[in-house]
Amino acid sequence: MKIEHLQGLISAPFTPFDSHGKLDVSLIPPYYAFLKRNGITGAFINGSTGEGVSISVEEKKAVAQAWADCSNHDTDFKVMVFLGGTCLTDCIDLAQHAYEIGLYAVSLTAPFYFKPGNVDTLAEICIKVGESVPNMPLYYYHIPVLTGVNIPMYDLVRALDGKLPNFAGVKYTHEDFMDFQSCMSYENGKFDMLWGRDENMLSALVLGAKGAVGSTFNYAAPLYYDLIDAFNNNDLVKARALQQKSIDMIRFLGKYGGISVGKAYMKLVGHDLGGFRLPVKNMSAEQFELFKKDVAGLNFDTFKSK
């Protein structure tokens, strides 16, 4: 399989729920159109931002089908589906479903309850799932802050090279730049390394990253495309200022409750996708009003997606 190196901003979409917490896939077609309008080149669905670990297998399939229905005609928009990691039977079932409905790629992470103790075990897991969809790219999702599995990706890349032909690369959501650069350089850039930390994208651009997956791209894509343009034009003063603007925006996630705050930002750009499911807490109506005032202080309207 020829490995494609994806470029641009790939959104990690939120899973839309109604006011009762039920899945509402009718919101996905306008969501896709909104992302396209803002230059987004793909979607990483059912991941951390999409609450993939909090929705059922049936719901994951419904989300995947809805994204396939509205985007499969679009060769410039790649949809990658996160499979999970704790139950390999479910991962294989979801991978085969993704292939059957025509999505671009699948991704899995390390099991985070019974954790793999070494790189060979992790590679075996990837191979088992990848071999179930041999004609579909498979990406490993490296996010040790949530999985507790911090095996160097350079070791995993070497362990899978030549053993899993459809292994495409890594969605790298970690701050180990030495490891990331080693993966980028492996075999003259053989594998596709997608950056996954919005708040330090500039550092990844310096190392040669061309594609990134992030949650804040949902509602602030213009900010990041301006950052990329500034970097490409060697205007590092502007690029650093824009990265700081990203950091300031992301700080509010911590101030108002974490990952669920992303859906509050989505309300500010005209897309009410409901709340997050437990155990993630949502902000109160009073907190939302305070949040809106804080966000206005960032001049959010000057760089938000529209």
Catalytic residue flag (residue 141):
yes
Q: For the chain, report the end-to-end CA distance as a whole number of angstroms.
A: 37
Among 31, 139, 140, 141, the one annotated catalytic: 141
Look up residue 45 and give its amino acid. Answer: I
- CA pair distance 175, 102, nearest whole angstrom: 33
Among 171, 245, 263, 304, the one annotated catalytic: 171
Please give the structure tokens belonging to residue 67: 């994204």
Contact 207, 284 (CB under 8 A): no
Which residues is 81 bridged to in the sheet? Answer: 45, 106
**Which residues touch 278 (CB under 8 Å, ≥6 apart)?**
54
Catalytic residue flag (residue 115):
no
Q: Phi and psi for 10 in degrees, rounded to 5?
A: -110, 120
Nearest by Cα to 27 from 267, 288, 306, 220: 267
Contact 264, 291 (CB under 8 A): yes
Catalytic residues: 141, 171
